[in-house]
Amino acid sequence: MQVLVDDGIALDVSVAGTGAHSVVLLAGFPLSREIWETTARELSAQCRVVLPDLRGIGSSGVANGPYLMESLAADLAAVLDALGD
């Protein structure tokens, strides 16, 4: 799924599993969410797993820098809001 954030960038997010609780798996810069595939598959049997690609990574949009921690945190908040968490 795509989630639009405040500055119009589209973040690409995968969601696996269901449940009352969500686990967000963030890949370290500059890696994509693909590093979490095995872990996500295991966790998705017990909960909902949210796997976003951060801005500029994977299929997510690229914005003019700098990519500040505050921007990345706001992006994650937008993803969770879009998912109702």
Residue 14 backbone zone (phi > 0: left; psi -120 to 50: alpha; other: beta)? beta
Dist CA 56 CA 19 (whole Å): 29
Let me know: does 17 contact 44? Beta carbons within 8 Å. Answer: yes
In angstroms, rounded to a whole number, what is the distance separating the alpha carbons of residues 12 and 4?
Answer: 9
Dist. CA 52–CA 33, nearest whole Å:
6
Q: What is the tens place of the pLDDT at every residue in 7-63?
A: 899 999 999 999 888 999 999 888 999 999 999 999 999 999 999 999 999 999 998
Q: Can you give the CATH number for the domain in which 35 is found? A: 3.40.50.1820
What is the span of the domain harbouring residue 51?
A: 2-82
Number of domains forming the structure of the chain: 1
- At residue 85 the predicted structure's pLDDT band, cuts being 50, 70 and 90, is confident
